Structure 1
Amino acid sequence: MIPDFALSCSEFESVGLTLSREQYEKLSIYAEFLVEYNEKVNLTAITEPMEILRKHFIDSILLTKYVDIPLNSTLIDVGTGAGFPSVPIKIYRPDIKITLLDSLNKRIDYLKQLCEKLEIDAEFIHGRAEDFSKKEEYREKFDFSCARAVANMALLSELCIPFVKQNGCFVAMKGPNEDISLGANAVEILGGLIEKEIEYKLFDEERKIVLVRKISQTPSKYPRNSSQIKKKTL
């Protein structure tokens, strides 16, 4: 369900990544199950083999090229959807411990079945980020949080930064056009610092990774409830 091994290797190499046979086999299983499950639960609009390889798998795994993720780090994927970017990252870097959070139980069911097929370990959370980041067992417990979402930087920061321990990072995967500085106030309020913006090309498309370093504790009143967040961004 993705291009053959030689072509897939070539695609990975063109962006400075390598691909092993074992990784390829797991990504093939992933793609096949994604397309099959997508017929009953809306997971993705991208179903063409090369598009899955490039826009889902390679785009997700490129995060490991541009962000230094130490061995055995913990990562929570907020609003993970079909498992991007964390499940491809786990395939590529099995040492990383992933937690998958999504508000839709149908997607969590899919993710559990997917990880079983891939024989990878993950923790699954069905719920909203603004609720679970208030819980002691999740608040400021992760080395990294990440989101691959269209929401603005201020909103994403309020949902993701509270999960991150001090000196950890929130990683936002964004398109090229968002003015990240508009989220700077929210990042500061939540205990973060925008450390860098990494601009890169995914084949013919511009991409951006924003790295936010957690430099102090998030005040206990954040995140606010969903209605407050929607009403007014920080």
Structure 2
Amino acid sequence: MNEILKYFPTLTEQQTRRFAALFNLYADWNTKINVISRKDIENLYLHHVLHSLAIAKILHFKKGTSIIDVGTGGGFPSIPLAITFPECTFCLLDSVAKKIKVAQEVVSALNLRNCTFSHSRIEDEKRTFDFVVSRAAMSLTDLVRLSSKNIATTQQNALPNGIICLKGGDLHAEIQPYKNIVSVYNLSDFFEEDYFSTKKAIYLPIDNSRKKV
């Protein structure tokens, strides 16, 4: 929890309480439904919560922004982002029902009112959102192919609508098809912990007004 306060010192009392509640909630649910490696649960705040919040370092979502989290698993990155941006709406999508169950229970326990859920695949989702977010759920090529249709055309944020995903390792080949428009952020520029030395965020604007990436 200290890692969150270190990098986000202006959280409200309610936001701080909600972040503080995450450990016990995930520790409990993880014994029933494994959504986080049991060896990694002690690193929840660093490896999962703070990692998710890297997106908040890239873009401060404006009030009313809509976001869909593709392959949310147990609720990352959406639940930390939903706590941080209570005036935005988040749709947590996953094809695995038991993972959605964990995310639903955590959201309910936190009394978060800005999250909805979709037990489905992104290729079947018809609605549009300002941003697609994802945390290493699939390759960038697949994410672009399957979710570009879900990006709305109306703009309201400092960055144009598009895809923001969190990944690690060598991304050269993965971003090559989009090299002229993609932005890659080193998370070590935001967070000093060693864990983030190879972690990156990818932002890809999607312009559906012209029907092409």
Question: Is 2:31 aligned against 1:39?
Answer: yes
The total of aligned residue pairs comes to 197
Q: Distance in 2 between matches of 1:131 and 1:154?
A: 17
Q: Is this contact kept in 1: 2:94–2:119, CA < 8 A? A: yes
- The one-letter amino acid paired with 2:72 is T
2:133 equivalent to 1:146: yes
Higher relative contact order (CA 8 A, sep 6+): 2
Equivalent-residue separation in structure 1 for 2:6 and 2:169 (angstroms):
21
1:181 aligns with 2:159: no
In the alignment, which residue of structure 2 is the partner of 1:200? Answer: 187
Distance across 2 between alignment mates of 1:34 and 1:16: 21
CA distance in 2, matches of 1:157, 1:110: 27
Q: Which structure has the highest strand share of the two?
A: 1
Tell me which amino acid in the other structure corresponds to 1:211: Y
Find the partner of 1:99 among 84, 88, 91: 91
Distance 1:161 1:92, change over 3 A: same
For residue 48 of structure 2, what is the amino acid of its counterpart? H
Does the 8 A contact of 1:154 with 1:184 survive in 2?
Answer: no
Q: Is the 8 A contact 2:29 2:102 kept in 1?
A: yes
Equivalent residue for 2:157?
Answer: none
Match of 1:226 in 2: none
Shift in CA distance, 78/17, structure 1 to aligned 2, threshold 3 Å: farther
Which residue number in structure 2 is paired with residue 79 of structure 1? 71
Is 2:54–2:187's contact at 8 Å kept on the other side of the alignment? no
Compare CA radii of gyration and give the structure with the larger one: 1
Q: Cα 1:40–1:73, aligned 2, differ >3 Å: closer, same or farther?
A: same
**Which residue does 1:120 correspond to in 2?**
112
SS at match of 1:171: strand
Which ranges of structure 2 fall in alignment gaps of 5 or more residues?
A: 154-159
* CA deviation vs aligned residue, 1:82-130 (integer Å, no higher than 9, x gap): 1011110111110110100010111122222211111112111001111
TM-score normalised by length of structure 2:
0.83
Match of 2:152 in 1: 165
Residues 1:37 and 1:12: Cα distance change in structure 2 (over 3 Å):
closer
Q: Is the 8 A contact 1:150 1:174 kept in 2?
A: no
Change (3 A) 1:56 1:71: same
Counterpart in 1 of 2:54?
Answer: 62
Runs of at least 5 residues in structure 1 that lack an aligned partner in the other structure = 186-192, 221-234
* Paired position in structure 1 for 2:124: 131
Q: Is the 8 A contact 1:169 1:213 kept in 2?
A: yes
Deviations 1:182-204 (A, max 9, x none): 3429xxxxxxx734211121411
Q: 1:14 to 1:111 in 2, by over 3 A?
A: closer
Q: How far apart, in 2, do the equivalents of 1:196 and 1:172 lie?
A: 11
